[in-house]
């Protein structure tokens, strides 16, 4: 995941990148004099359906 600050009129600032994994994740983005924290839970994978005859 990458985070950008869209601040017109200057160019968008890249605030950082992180890899998401596990059940709960807290990501910190601190490039370009920023400090942003994002807490997230990755989406659940659907359970396979039982096979029926």
* Gap between the Cα atoms of 40 and 23, Å rounded: 9
Contacts of 34 (CB under 8 A, 6+ apart): 5, 13, 15, 16
Q: Which structural domain, as residue segments, surrounds residue 24?
A: 2-40
Domain presence at residue 46: no
pTM of the predicted model as reported, rounded to 2 decimal places: 0.52
Contacts of 37 (CB under 8 A, 6+ apart): 26, 27, 28, 29
Domain presence at residue 53: no
* Gap between the Cα atoms of 46 and 33, Å rounded: 39
Domain presence at residue 23: yes
Domain presence at residue 36: yes
DSSP 3-state helix, strand, coil percentages of the chain (rounded to 5)?
0, 35, 65
Q: Please give the tally of structural domains in the chain.
A: 1
Domain presence at residue 19: yes
Mind listing the pLDDT tens digit for each residue in 2-34? 888 887 777 788 888 887 777 777 888 888 887
């Amino acid at each position: 995941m990458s985070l950008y600050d869209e601040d017109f009129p200057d160019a968008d600032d890249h605030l950082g990148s992180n890899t998401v994994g596990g059940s709960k994740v807290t990501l910190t983005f601190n490039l370009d004099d920023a400090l942003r924290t994002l807490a997230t839970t990755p989406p659940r994978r659907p359970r396979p359906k039982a096979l029926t005859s």
